[in-house]
Amino acid sequence: MSTKKENALVRAQTIVGAAIIPVFVIGYWVVCSKKGILNTTILTSPEQLVARFLKMFSDGSLWKNIFSSTRRVLEGFTIGAFLGLVIGSLVGLFKPIRILLSAVISILRPIPPISMIPFFILWLGIGEESKLTIIAIGSFWSVLLNTIQGFQDTDPNLVEVADVFGKSKAVILFKIVLPSAIPSVFTGLRLGMSHAWTAVVTAEMIAASSGVGYMIQYARELSQPDLLLLGIVCIGIIGLIIDTVVMFIQKKVVYWRTIE
Amino acid sequence: MGLSVKNVKRVFSINQNDLEVLKDINLEIRDGEIISIVGGSGCGKSTLLKLIAGLDRPTGGEIRLDDKPIVKPDPQNIGMIFQEARLFPWSTVEKNIEFGMTDKLSKEEKAERVKEHIELVGLTGFEKALPAQLSGGMKQRVSIARGLINRPRLLLLDEPFGALDAFTKMNLQQEVLRIWEREHMTLILVTHDIDEAIYLGDRVVVMSPKPGVVKKIFSVELSRERDRTSADFAAYRRKVFDEFFERKEVDTDYSI
C-alpha cells in the first residue's frame, strides 16, 4: 500500500515526464521563430497563433466553430452508439441474430466511413444529415463490436454459481451477463467517441459552412497558416478533453476494474 | 435418510466417441457425515460432485437426497463451494453473500442473516469491500459464507482450498470444521490433497480413472482433534498413498 504522499509524488513525476517533449517542441518552435528561421507562410509563429486565438476567442467565431462541431459529434455519436448498443446486444444475446448478421458485419466493417462521404452527399445532400450519418457510422462500429465482445466476456463459472443457487435466466442476465459486458461496452464507447470526432472533422472539411474542419479547410483556401494551426490544435485539445471526460465516467461506472 | 448414490454412470460423447467418466458409483452417506473424495485428475470426482449438485444428470443410476431423486439444483438443501471463489467482481462482500439467498425474507431479515454469516467466516469489517480488495483466503471465506447462506443440509466442496497457500489452507480447513461442529451439515469434499482428505473426512473415498470408479473407501477412526503429525495420522496417509503409488520395498538384505 502506498501512502498519499507517495501517490502525489508519482503523479507529479508522470505529469513532468509527459510534459518534457511538448515543452521542448514548443520551445524549439519559439526559438526558431525569434531567430527568423521559420518560413511563416508555411508555419505560423507562436505570436501569430496566440494573436489569432485571442481574436477569435473574443469575437466568438472560435466558439461558434467548436460548438457546431461538438453538437454534430454528440448527435451523431448518440445515434451511432445507440444503434451499436442495441444491435450489439441482440447479436451478443441471440445466436440466430448473430448468424443472420455475421456476413453483413464482416463485409461492411472494413469500409472506412470516410470513403462513404461522397456517397452520402449524393444520397442525403450536403446538409447536416450526411455529416451526422458519417459520424454515426464512425462511432457505430467500435460500439457494436465491443458490445458483442462484452456479451462474450461472461464467465461461465459465475453462471454455474447462479445455477447452483437455482437462479432464473433473468437474474443471470441482469446480475451476471450485463455487468460482465459493461467494461467492454465502455471501451467501445470511448473508441466510438474518438472515431466520431475524427469523422466530424473529415466531413466538415469536405462539405460544411461551420465547424473546426471547415475552419481548417477555409484556412487552407485562404492560405492562413495561423488559422490552420489553430484548427489542428483545437482538434487535439478537444479530443483530449472528451477522452478525459469519458475515462472519468468509465472509472466511476466500471469501479471494480482499473482501466485497461 | 442421507444421500444415496446408486449405480451411477456418466458417459460423455466427445467427437462421437463415448467416454465413460463414471462407472458403477455406489455411496451411502449419512446425515452429518464428512466424506472426502480423493483421486487424480480425470477420475471423475468433480463430475460426481456436479451430479450430486444437480448441475448434470447421470447417464444411468440415481442419486437421492432423503429418498427424493436429485434432478436439478436444490439451493435450499444443497450448497456448493468451488475451487475458485467465483465472486462477482462488481459486488461487495455483502452483496456476493446475499446473492445465494433463496428464502423469501424481509430486507431486515436478509441483512441480519448476511451479517451472521459474515461473522461466521470471520470477515466482520469487510462487508463493503470488493473482491479485488481481498486476499485469496478471504475471497474463499466469502464463497463459504455464500454457500452456507441457505443453511443447506449438504455442502459440496470442489477442491475448495486447492488454490491457496499451505497456511491459509490449514486455517480454512479448521474453519470449515468449526462451522461443521456448529451446524452439523453433511460435507462432501473433493480434493487431490491426501492430508486434507484424512484431516477432514470421516471416510475417505479413493477414486481411480478410466473409467472413474470407487477404488476403496477408508473409515478414518481418529478423534476430531486430529494431529497431522501423529503416527496414527501417518498410518492413514500411508494407506491412502498406497492406493495411488506402488511402494518400493527397501531390500533389507543389502542394508548395513
Q: Tell me the per-residue pLDDT of B215-224, one tens digit each, with 9 for 90 and over.
A: 888 888 888 8
In this prediction, residue B249 carries a pLDDT of 59
Which of B80, B84, B131 faces A164 most closely, judged by CB atoms?
A: B80
Q: Which triple of cell numbers denotes residue B67?
A: 429418498
Task: Please say whether the beta carbons of B190 and B158 come within 8 A.
Answer: yes
Residues 6 or more apart whose CB falls under 8 angstroms from that of B44 comprise: B10, B21, B22, B207, B209, B211, B212
Looking at the complex, does the CB of residue A256 fall below 8 Å from at least one CB of chain B?
yes
Cell of B213: 470408479
- The reported pLDDT for the residue numbered A124 is 87
- Strand B213-219 and strand B60-65: the pairing is unpaired
Determine the residue among A153, A157, A165 to mutate to test chain B binding: the one whose Cβ has the most chain B Cβ atoms within 10 Å. Answer: A165
* pLDDT at B108 > cutoff 50: yes
Number of A to B CB contacts under 8 A, please give it: 47
Contact at 8 Å (CB) between A166 and B102? Answer: yes
Q: Do B84 and A157 touch (CB under 8 A)?
A: yes
Q: Does A260 lie at the interface with B, CB-CB under 8 angstroms?
A: no
- B213-219, strands of its sheet edge to edge: B78-81, B154-158, B186-191, B34-38, B203-208, B213-219
Residues 48-67 of chain B whose Cβ lies under 8 A from any Cβ of chain A: 53, 55
Q: Does B88 contact chain A (CB < 8 Å)?
A: yes
Residues of A in contact with B102 (CB under 8 A): 165-166
Q: Are strands B203-208 and B34-38 parallel, antiparallel or unpaired?
A: parallel
Which DSSP letter does residue A42 get? T
Residue B39 · residue B189 · CB < 8 Å? no
With an 8 Å Cβ cutoff, is B132 touching chain A? yes
Q: What pLDDT, on a 0 to 100 scale, did the predictor assign at position B33? A: 93
ipTM of the complex: 0.86
Q: Say whether pLDDT at B250 is over 70.
A: no
Domain residue ranges of chain B, discontinuous segments joined by +:
1-77+156-247, 88-151
Please give the pLDDT value at position B251: 58
Grid coordinates representing A190 are 470511448
Nine-digit cell at B74?
A: 436444490
Find out whether A211 and A65 touch, Cβ atoms under 8 Å: yes
Q: What is the pLDDT of residue B122?
A: 87
pLDDT, position B247: 62
| pLDDT tens for chain A, residues 1 to 260 | 557 788 888 888 989 999 999 999 989 988 888 888 878 778 888 888 888 889 988 998 889 999 999 999 999 999 999 999 999 999 998 999 999 999 999 999 888 888 888 888 888 888 888 889 999 999 999 999 999 999 988 999 999 999 999 999 999 999 999 999 999 999 999 999 989 988 888 888 887 888 999 999 998 888 888 898 999 888 888 888 988 898 899 888 888 886 43
pLDDT per position as a tens digit, A211-233: 999 999 998 888 888 898 999 88
Using a 10 angstrom Cβ sphere, with 0-12 exposed, 13-18 middle and 19 or more buried, the burial of residue A178 is middle
* pLDDT 10s digits, B182-200: 888 999 999 988 999 999 9
Q: Does B166 touch chain A (CB under 8 A)?
A: no
Pick the CATH number of B1-77+156-247 from 3.40.50.300, 3.20.20.70, 3.65.10.10, 3.40.50.2300: 3.40.50.300
